[in-house]
Amino acid sequence: MKRFFLIVLDSFGVGELPDAHLWHDEGSNTLGAIRSHPNFRCPNLEALGLFNIEGVGGGVRAPKASFARMAEKSMGKDTTIGHWEIAGIVSPDPLPTYPEGFPREIIEEFERKTGRKTICNRPYSGTEVIKDYGREHLETGALIVYTSADSVFQVAAHEDMVPLDELYRDCEIARKMLVPPHGVGRVIARPFTGEYPFVRTANRHDFSIEPPADTVLNLLKDAGYDTLSVGKIYDIFAGSGITKSYRTTSNTHGMQVTKELQAQDFNGLCFVNLVDFDMKYGHRNDVAGYAAAATEFDGFLGAFEADMRDGDVLLITADHGCDPSTPSTDHSREYTPMLIYGKGIKGGVDLGTRACFSDIGATVLDYFGVPQKNTSGTSFLKEVLK
C-alpha cells in the first residue's frame, strides 16, 4: 500500500517569476511578506527545507526534505490553471478575464434563464461588493454578479433572499452558459448573511470548467488507485478523476480531515487544498493573518510527520502567489515551493528551479508506476528516492 499526500497551500508563493511584469506583479513575494512577522513561527517547515529553496534565503544545514522552486509554465496565475499544471496540463493560453465586466449579451441571457435581474457586473473585492450592493440586493432580489482579475464569474446572494439550492442552481446555469470564448475558469457561488455590512458564509461553492485533457487524477483512477480530494480540489477539476471527495470550510477543517484520512487505509493520492491562505488573507492584504495561518499549518505538520507510515510520501507546494503586502489584492505571478518528505525519501536534495509545476504530477505517477501518457512534466523521483 502506497499513500501520497499532496498538499497545496493556496497562494503560498516564494518570489516573482521572471515574467511577473507581464502581470504587473514586479516585486511580489508572498513568503517574503510574512516571514518576518511575529505571527510567523514555522520550525517544521524550516526543518524540512523551506528556506533552503533557491532564491528564498536562509535555511538549515541538514534539511529533512528534498526541495525545489517551481516555475509556472502556463500563461496564468489563477487557481484553476495552477492546479491543472500541477496535475499535468500546461495551459498555453490564459483563461478569459473581464476587467470591464461581462458582455451585455451574457448578462441578459443569465437574467433570462435565472429569472432574476443582476447588479454590479464589474471587478470587485468579495467583501466590499456585499457592503456596496448587499442592501440593493435585499431590496430588489437582484443577484450580485461580479468578477476579479481572475477568470471567474461570481454570484453573491443573501441566504435569506436566495436559498442556497437556488443560488447553486443559478451558478450551474452560468456554468453551462460560459463556454469558449467565454469559458471562465470558475463560476463561484458567494452566499452571505446577517445585516449590513454582512458576512460571507462557509457555503461557497465553485463550479469549474472541466480540464481539457486527462490529468494525473484520471490516470491514477484508471489504474485502480484511490484519488481523494480534500477542500476545493473536487471543484477545481469538476470532479474528473476523483474517487472520493471531502468538502471543507476552512484551513483548520481541511487539516483535520487530512489528519483523519492519514489514520485510514487507502492506496493512492490524497490531494489537499488549503484555501484560507488565499481567500481570507492574501486577497484581503492581511499579512498578520497569513503569517498566523502558516504557523497553524506548521503545527499540523509536526503531528502529521510523526504519524507517517513507511510507504507514505508528503509533498507540499502552492498554485500561485497572493502577496498580502502589495497594493494589489489579486493573485501574483510567483514561483512556488516544493518540499517532498517521507521515510523513503532522501533529505537535503536540492532540485533547484524546476521549469514546470507538472514535474510534481509526473513524480506522483512515477511513484505509483503509472505511465504519464499525454500529461506534461518530468519526474524527479529517482533523484530523491532512497
Domains of the chain, each with CATH number or no CATH: 3-93+211-384 (3.40.720.10), 104-208 (3.30.70.1250)
pLDDT (tens digit, 0 to 9) for every residue of the chain, 386 residues total?
899 999 999 999 999 999 999 999 999 999 999 999 999 999 999 999 999 999 999 999 999 999 999 999 999 999 999 999 999 999 999 899 999 999 999 999 999 999 999 999 999 999 999 999 999 999 999 999 999 988 999 999 999 999 999 999 999 999 999 999 999 999 999 999 999 999 999 899 999 899 999 999 999 999 999 999 999 999 999 999 999 999 999 999 999 999 999 999 999 999 999 999 999 999 999 999 999 999 999 999 999 999 999 999 999 999 999 999 999 999 999 999 999 999 999 999 999 999 999 999 999 999 999 999 999 999 999 999 99
pLDDT at 149: 83
Question: How far, in Å, CA of 334 to CA of 211, rounded?
Answer: 23
Q: Is 186 helix (H, G, I), strand (E, B) or coil?
A: strand
Residues contacting 95, CB < 8 A, separation 6+: 76, 78, 80, 81, 151, 183, 184, 185, 209
CA distances from 24 to 13, 18, 116, 168 (A): 16, 12, 36, 34
Length of the chain as a residue count: 386
- Give pTM, 2 decimals: 0.91
Cell readout for 156 is: 453573491
Q: Residue 122: name the closest of 88, 156, 90 by CA.
A: 156
